[in-house]
Amino acid sequence: MKKVILSLALGTFGLGMAEFGIMGVLTELAHNVGISIPTAGHMISWYAFGVVIGAPVIAVFSSRFSLKHILIFLLALCLIGNAMFTLSSSYWMLAAGRLVSGFPHGAFFGVGAIILSKLAKPGKVTAAVAGMISGMTVANLLGVPLGTWLSQEFSWRYTFLLIAVFNALVIASVIFWVPNITDASKRKLREQFHFLKSPAPWFIFSATLFGNAGVFAWFSYIKPFMMTVAGFSEGNMTLIMMLAGLGMVSGNLLSGRLSGKHSPLSIAIVTDLVIALSLALLFVFGADKAASLGLAFVCCLGLFALSAPLQILLLQNAKGGEMLGAAGGQMAFNLGSAVGAYCGGMMLTMGFAYNYVALPAALLSFFAMSSLLLYARLKQKPAPAFSSL
Query: What's the pLDDT tens digit per position in 71-80?
Result: 999 999 999 9
Does 385 map to a domain?
A: no
pLDDT one-digit tens code per residue, 296-313: 999 999 998 998 899 889
The whole domain housing 134 covers: 1-180
Q: Do 129 and 221 lie in a common domain?
A: no
Q: What is the pLDDT of residue 177?
A: 94
**Are 255 and 308 in contact, with CB atoms under 8 Å apart?**
yes
How many distinct structural domains can be found in the chain? 2
In angstroms, the Cα distances linking 330 to 54, 59, 108 are 11, 12, 10
- What CATH number is given to the structural domain containing 319? 1.20.1250.20
Q: What is the pLDDT of residue 129?
A: 83
- What single-letter DSSP state applies at residue 152? H
- What single-letter DSSP state applies at residue 155? -
Indicate the residue among 136, 157, 180 that finishes a domain.
Answer: 180
Q: What is the pLDDT of residue 385?
A: 42
> What are the per-10-residue average pLDDT scores of the chain (389 residues)?
92 91 78 81 80 77 81 95 94 94 86 86 81 86 83 90 96 94 62 79 94 88 86 82 87 85 92 97 95 95 90 83 76 82 84 92 97 93 45
Q: Do 204 and 128 lie in a common domain?
A: no
**What's the predicted TM-score (pTM) here?**
0.77
**Are 247 and 138 in contact, with CB atoms under 8 Å apart?**
no
Among candidates 212, 223, 222, which has minimal Cα distance to 338? 212
**Are 347 and 229 in contact, with CB atoms under 8 Å apart?**
no
Give the integer Cα–Cα distance in Å for 252 and 308: 8
Q: What is the pLDDT of residue 387?
A: 37
Does 370 map to a domain?
A: yes
Give the integer Cα–Cα distance in Å for 224 and 17: 23
Indicate the residue among 180, 206, 222 that finishes a domain.
Answer: 180
Q: How many residues belong to the chain?
A: 389
Does 236 map to a domain?
A: yes
pLDDT one-digit tens code per residue, 240-298: 878 888 998 899 889 888 877 889 999 999 999 999 999 999 999 999 999 999 999 99
